[in-house]
Amino acid sequence: MLAIQTEGRPVQLVTDRVFIKANKEGRGEYKSKYIHLIIDTDFDETSTENAIQDGIIKAIPRNSKLGMKVGDHVYTSHFLMEKEYQLTVDGEQVVALGETDVYCKVKDKKITMFGEWNLIEPIKDLDKETASGIIYELGKGNVALRGKLLHTNPKLEALGVKIGNIIAYTAVADYEILIEGKYYFRMLNEDVCAIIGESEL
């Protein structure tokens, strides 16, 4: 693992890398009134339930134009778990991710998207039934490549897409992420195909 000693000087990154300290608090544990489980997250460390995908920014690129700041609480790709991206700066373990792997920041419970990222609430197919209550087609909870846009960016808004729109998206855009206790699909602007409806938030 690469180790950097700064001797108290601020780190100045010249590429598009962002140094992030992963938030490991509470991961690998389940607590209830009657039980406290310790979960082996190494078994499937990149699953939505186990992956650490949030942390605190420790250093940003010198010429960053995405609005990131040192100290921001951000959500990222599961690469935040990858050992090959880990290093230490003055003895503190951080992960070096590309700017495009950082999706959003959260401050005072407000989510702000970076770059061309969006967060969608997927809409699942429902069971279909006759007027008499006979179910004739099981939706089985399948996701139907459509969802409600809940958090977006200025570039997509400039194309006329608004928060609350029901949108259709590409089949490869079903990357699930847990942010502040809620599950979303995160996707790029290019994955948003069309507006197919309106929804009141």
- Domains along the chain? 7-113 (2.30.33.40), 117-197 (2.30.33.40)
Find which of 3-7, 113-117, 121-125, 134-138 is predicted with most confidence, using mean pLDDT. Answer: 113-117
Q: Which two tokens stand for residue 39?
A: 């979960």
Q: Indicate the range of 30-34, 77-81, 109-113 predicted with least confidence.
A: 30-34
The amino acid occupying position 102 is: V
DSSP 67-104: ---TT-EEEE-GGGG-GGGEEEETTEEEEEEEGGGEEE
pLDDT number for residue 45: 54
Asked whether the predicted pLDDT for residue 181 surpasses 50, the reply is: yes
Asked whether the predicted pLDDT for residue 200 surpasses 80, the reply is: no
Q: What angle do CA 100, 26, 88 make, to 5 degrees?
A: 50
Region 85-89: mean pLDDT is 89
